Amino acid sequence: MALLKFNRKAKAENETGLSANSIMNGGRFFDKSGNPNMQIQGMGFLERLNIYHALLSMKKIKFVLLILIFFIGINLLFASVYLWIGIDHLNGMVANSASEKFGEAFFFSAQTFTTVGYGRINPIGFAASLTAAIEALVGLMSFALATGLLYGRFSKPKAYIHYSKNAIFAPFKDGTALMFRMVPYTKNYLVNVEVKVTLALRILEDGMMKNKFFNVPLEISKAITLTANWTLVHVINEESPFYNLSKEDISNAQAELLIFVQGFDESFSNTVISRTSYSYDDFIYGAKFKPMFHPDANNTTTILHLDMLHDYDPAEITIQF
Q: What pLDDT digit, counting tens, does each position of 79-101 carry?
A: 999 999 988 888 887 777 888 88
Domain 47-155 maps to which CATH number in 1.10.287.70, 3.10.420.10, 3.40.50.300, 1.10.1660.10?
1.10.287.70
User: Measured between alpha carbons, how far is 286 from 171 in angstroms, rounded to an integer?
Assistant: 8
State the pTM of this model. 0.76
The SS3 of residue 51 is helix
At residue 282, φ and ψ (nearest 5 deg) are -95, 0
The SS3 of residue 46 is helix
Q: Provide the 10 A C-beta neighbour count for residue 133.
A: 12
CATH number of 22-38+158-314: 2.60.40.1400
Domain boundaries, the chain: 22-38+158-314, 47-155
Query: Taking every pair of C-alpha atoms in the chain, what is the biggest distance, in angstroms?
Result: 89
Q: pLDDT (tens digit, 9 = 90+) per residue, 69-79?
A: 999 999 999 99
Annotate 70-136 with DSSP letters as a single string: HHHHHHHHHHHHHHHH-GGGEET----SHHHHHHHHHHHHHHHHTT---SSSEE-SHHHHHHHHHHH
Sorting pLDDT into bands at 50, 70 and 90, what band is 20? low
